[in-house]
């Protein structure tokens, strides 16, 4: 396992210091950090970073709020009988092939023959082009929310179920209301798992690629180009391997920093508990 | 019934509709004749034309077979390699806490980093446009997930069982194979299925590392709507064919998968 991941990793870092291009006859030269220097000045790359950040923030926030709400609703006692079935149905989107999800929504959101713009037009009388320059990124967020809210629901439901019951009984004895029980017991106890759920989803959202590929190809212009899609274009459309590697390494370092922060934070929580 | 239960039921109803509607809509679309695809609410005579066209489309059935081949290989390798690794993590605390966390971190390496070396490596080894390159690429992220899953299943097996077996004269390896593995069989099966689903759904590596007759299903599916042309009806049928197996598989093993996924977050 070490070999299968580490060899490519090291090799990627080495490639990032060269001007390697496929299909060019000149020998690959070592050019130091030029690729990194160029990456920071590349407007397209910076734009793709901004897009990815906006996308990840909106998607994860919406998924968290919706997932948390659903988890709380499903946790109610009177829903015990239907809980299992409802949950397994709600979980299904996260197992569906992302390419298929992208195509499904590209069809359903299409301004000419999609069902959703059609409904908006006939019921509300508004004309919405989901893939116009201003809305395209948000539409991709919607697709992500459809597929990945179930993941939030899964983790948060599991979290709610693992909470110790005696705290709630004690709160009841002390005469705490529903809101203060929620605010002072549920939220603090759930905080570690909320953190994990948000971080896992954020890291995942940074890698958004399939929806962009199937729905907009980064367009209109580069309005929806994500980091992954940008690297794909540089590396496998223009075959500038050195440049693509450098950008990918920068991307990986960012992810690594987030992972380290996550590890530290979690360890701190473990010490408290 | 008070207002609160009604709101709860309403909430669930909306969530269920939003979740299930896309499947239904695409399923209906796969039976629409050409003219009805662009007019959502007009009545139409269902046709099997799209399904026939998809199955006869050159490369589509090949894509299904390729995906099955890749998926089965990935699942088998990750179980065979992953279960001893997970066992060692679970029993001997190999690598300590950092080791455990390192596995998860491996899985978080962005594919964009690994794909370029894997691509160059595949060219050099002559594995480009062959399925073996994709199998290797898939293992880079699926193997860590499966090891992580399996650690949880092994943790649940009481140590005393193997110790008993070893007192009775088994070696550690025999105890592992004859006592521990059979007990974790449901977990192993669920993990294998999960590996298969992950591999089946993967697109990025497959797009770059396969081509021609070696394309996996997700890549073939991605070609249904390009700048060159759209076949909405065929695309819908292809989507249903692609997602049905993973939906069924994940539904059957959902209990184990959900437990495995959730366990990663709650210690």
Q: Do B266 and A146 lie within an 8 Å CB cutoff?
A: no
In tens, the pLDDT along B169-218 reads 888 888 888 888 888 888 888 889 999 999 999 999 888 888 778 888 88
Which of A129-133, A143-147, A255-259, B224-228 is least confident? B224-228
Kindly state the tokens that stand for B96: 């300590």
Identify whether B6 is part of a domain: no
Task: For chain B, say whether A135 makes contact (Cβ under 8 Å).
Answer: no
The answer to whether residue B69 scores a pLDDT higher than 90 is yes
The residue of chain B with its CA nearest to that of A112 is B38
- pLDDT value for A16: 72
How close does chain B come to A80, measured CA to CA in Å?
Answer: 12
pLDDT in tens, A163-178: 878 777 888 788 777 7
Name, of A3-7, B23-27, B220-224, the range with top average pLDDT. Answer: B23-27
Is B241:B266 a contact under the CB 8 Å cutoff? Answer: no
In the predicted structure, residue B235 carries a pLDDT above the cut 50: yes
Residue B39 in domain: no
What band does A273 get if pLDDT is binned at 50, 70 and 90?
very low
Of A8-22, A210-224, B192-206, the least confident: A8-22
- Does position A270 have pLDDT exceeding 70, yes or no? no
A 10 A CB-CB count for B139 gives 22
Which residue of chain A comes nearest to B101, CA vs CA? A263
With beta carbons under 8 A apart, name residues in chain B contacting A232. Answer: 112, 204, 208
User: Do the Cβ atoms of B117 and A15 come within 8 Å?
Assistant: yes
CB contact under 8 Å between B114 and A8, yes or no, is yes
Which range has the top average pLDDT, A67-76, A117-126, B67-76? B67-76
* Residue in the structure block whose two tokens are 């929504």: A105
CB-based contact, A91 to chain B, within 8 Å: yes
Q: Which of A90-104, A211-225, B30-44, B45-59 has the highest mean pLDDT?
A: A90-104
Tell me the chain A residues in contact with residue B251 when contact means C-beta distances shorter than 8 Å.
Answer: 88, 92
Is B10 inside any structural domain? no
Residue A2, pLDDT > 80, answer no
Count interface pairs A-B at CB distance under 8 A: 215
**Nearest residue in chain A measured CA to CA from B254:** A88
Residue B183 inside a domain? The answer is: yes
CA of B223: which chain A residue's CA is closest? A214
Contact A73 B12 (CB under 8 A): yes
Mean pLDDT of chain B: 83
Whether residues B265 and A79 touch (CB distance < 8 A) is answered with no
Domains of chain B: total = 1
A91/B258 touch (CB, cutoff 8 Å), yes or no: yes
- Domain A2-272 sits in CATH at 1.10.3720.10
Interchain pair A78, B5: CB under 8 A: yes
Kindly report, residue by residue over B1-38, the tens digit of the pLDDT: 567 788 888 888 999 999 999 999 889 888 888 777 77
**Which of the pair, B235 or B226, is modelled with greater confidence?**
B235
Q: Which residues of A touch B20 (CB under 8 A)?
A: 89
Positive/negative CA dihedral, A47, A242, A201, B235:
positive
Q: Which of A130, A133, A181, A145 is nearest to A160 (CA)?
A: A181
Nearest to A97 among B19, B218, B261 (CB): B218
Q: Residue A146 — pLDDT band, cuts 50, 70, 90?
A: very high
Residue A24 has pLDDT above 60, yes or no: no
Q: Please report the pLDDT score of residue B90 as a whole number.
A: 81
The mean per-residue pLDDT over the stretch A148-163 comes to: 88
Is the pLDDT confidence value at B43 over 80?
no
Best B13, B110, B145 residue to mutate vs chain A (most A CBs within 10 Å)? B110
pLDDT band at A147 (very low <50, low <70, confident <90, very high): very high
Asked if the model's pLDDT at residue A190 lies above 70, the reply is yes
Asked if A5's CB is within 8 angstroms of B140's CB, the reply is yes
- What is the chain B residue with the closest CA to A159? B266
Question: Which CATH number goes with the domain that contains B108?
Answer: 1.10.3720.10
| Cα–Cα distance, A86 to A74 (Å, whole number) | 9
Average of per-residue pLDDT across A253-258: 84
Q: From CA A12, how far away is CA A224, in angstroms rounded?
A: 26
Q: Residue A184 pLDDT > 60, yes or no?
A: yes
Mutate to test the interface with A, among B42, B113, B138, B204 (most CBs of A within 10 A): B113
**Cα(B98)–Cα(B81) distance, integer angstroms:** 20
Task: Give contacts of B115 with chain A, Cβ < 8 Å.
Answer: 235, 248
B208 neighbourhood in chain A, CB within 8 Å: 232, 236
Q: Does A100 touch chain B (CB under 8 A)?
A: yes
- Partner residue facing B111 (CB), from A86, A99, A207: A207
Q: Would you list the domain boundaries of chain A?
A: 2-272
Asked if A7 lies within 8 A of B218 by C-beta distance, the reply is no
Considering A26-40, A142-156, B1-15, B79-93, the range whose residues carry the highest mean pLDDT is A142-156
Looking at the predicted structure, is the pLDDT value of residue B105 above 80? no
Identify the domain containing residue B124 by its residue range: 55-265
* C-alpha span between B266 and B157 (Å, rounded): 18
Where b means 16+ CB within 10 Å and e means fewer, A19-37 reads bbbeeeeeeeeebeebbee
Answer whether B203 sits within 8 Å of A96, measured CB to CB: no
A210 touches chain B (CB under 8 A): yes
pLDDT of residue B265: 56
- Is B150 contained in some domain? yes
pLDDT at A32: 67
The residue in chain B having the minimum alpha-carbon distance to the alpha carbon of residue A102 is: B222
Task: Give residue A166's pLDDT.
Answer: 79
Query: Residues of B with CB below 8 A from A131's CB?
Result: none
Asked if the Cβ–Cβ distance from B265 to A100 is below 8 Å, we say: no
Residue B226's pLDDT band (cuts 50, 70, 90): low
Which of B148, B147, B255, B267 lies closest to A193, judged by CA?
B267
| pLDDT of amino acid B263 | 67
CB count in 10 Å sphere of residue A184: 13
- For the cut 50, the answer to whether the pLDDT of residue B267 exceeds it is no
Q: Find the CB nearest B117 among A12, A114, A154.
A: A12
3-state secondary structure A108-155: HCCCCCCHHHHHHHHHHCCCCCCCCCCCHHHHHHHHHHHHHHHHHHHH
Q: Long-range pairs for A265-272 at CB < 8 Å and ≥24 separation?
A: A265/A195, A266/A192, A266/A195, A266/A196, A269/A191, A269/A192, A269/A195, A270/B267
Give how far B169 is from chain A: nearest CA, Å: 32
Quick check: B264 pLDDT over 70? no
User: What confidence score (pLDDT) does residue B200 get?
Assistant: 92
């Amino acid at each position: 396992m070490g070999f299968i991941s580490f060899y490519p990793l090291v090799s990627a870092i080495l490639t990032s210091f060269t001007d390697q291009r496929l299909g060019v006859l000149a020998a690959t030269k070592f050019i130091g950090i030029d690729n990194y220097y160029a990456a920071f000045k590349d407007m397209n790359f910076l734009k793709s970073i901004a897009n990815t950040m906006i996308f990840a923030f909106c998607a994860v926030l919406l998924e968290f709020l919706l997932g948390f709400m659903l988890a709380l609703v499903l946790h109610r006692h009177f829903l015990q009988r239907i809980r299992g079935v409802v949950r397994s149905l709600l979980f299904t989107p996260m197992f569906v092939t992302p390419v298929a999800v992208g195509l499904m929504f590209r069809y359903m959101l299409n301004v000419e023959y999609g069902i959703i713009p059609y409904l908006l037009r006939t019921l509300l009388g508004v004309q919405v082009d989901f893939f116009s320059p201003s809305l395209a990124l948000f539409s991709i967020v919607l697709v992500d929310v459809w597929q990945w809210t179930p993941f939030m629901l899964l983790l948060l439901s599991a979290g709610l179920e693992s909470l110790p019951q005696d705290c709630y009984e004690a709160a009841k004895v002390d005469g705490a209301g529903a809101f203060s029980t929620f605010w002072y017991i549920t939220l603090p106890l759930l905080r570690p798992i909320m953190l994990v759920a948000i971080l896992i989803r954020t890291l995942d959202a940074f890698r958004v690629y399939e929806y962009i590929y199937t729905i907009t190809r980064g367009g209109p212009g580069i309005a929806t180009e994500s980091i992954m899609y940008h690297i794909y274009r540089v590396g496998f459309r223009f075959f500038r391997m050195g440049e693509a590697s450098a950008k990918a390494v920068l991307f990986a370092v960012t992810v690594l920093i987030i992972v380290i922060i996550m590890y530290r934070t979690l360890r701190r929580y473990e010490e408290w508990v | 019934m008070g207002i609160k239960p009604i709101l709860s039921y309403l909430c669930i109803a909306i969530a269920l509709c939003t979740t299930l509607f896309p499947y239904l809509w695409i399923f209906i679309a796969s039976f629409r004749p050409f003219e009805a695809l662009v007019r959502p609410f007009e009545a139409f005579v269902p046709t099997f034309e799209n399904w026939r066209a998809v199955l006869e489309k050159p490369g589509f059935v090949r894509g299904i077979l390729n995906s099955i081949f890749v998926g089965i290989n990935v699942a088998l390798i990750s179980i065979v390699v992953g279960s001893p690794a997970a066992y060692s993590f679970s029993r001997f605390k190999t690598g300590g806490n950092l080791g455990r966390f390192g596995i998860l971190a491996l899985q978080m390496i962005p594919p964009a980093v690994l794909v370029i070396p894997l691509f160059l490596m595949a060219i050099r080894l002559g594995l480009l446009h062959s399925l073996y390159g994709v199998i290797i690429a898939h293992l880079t992220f699926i193997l860590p997930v499966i090891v992580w899953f399996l650690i949880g299943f092994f943790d649940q097996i009481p140590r005393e069982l193997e110790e008993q077996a070893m007192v009775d004269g088994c070696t550690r390896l025999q105890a592992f194979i004859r006592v521990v593995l059979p007990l974790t069989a449901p977990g192993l099966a669920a993990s294998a299925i999960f590996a298969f689903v992950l591999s089946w759904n993967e697109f990025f590596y497959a797009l770059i590392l396969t081509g021609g007759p070696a394309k996996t299903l997700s890549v073939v599916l991605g070609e249904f709507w390009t700048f060159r042309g759209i076949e909405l009806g065929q695309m819908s049928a292809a989507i249903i064919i692609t997602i049905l197996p993973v939906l069924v598989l994940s539904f059957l093993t959902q209990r184990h998968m959900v437990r495995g996924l959730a366990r990663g977050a709650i210690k």
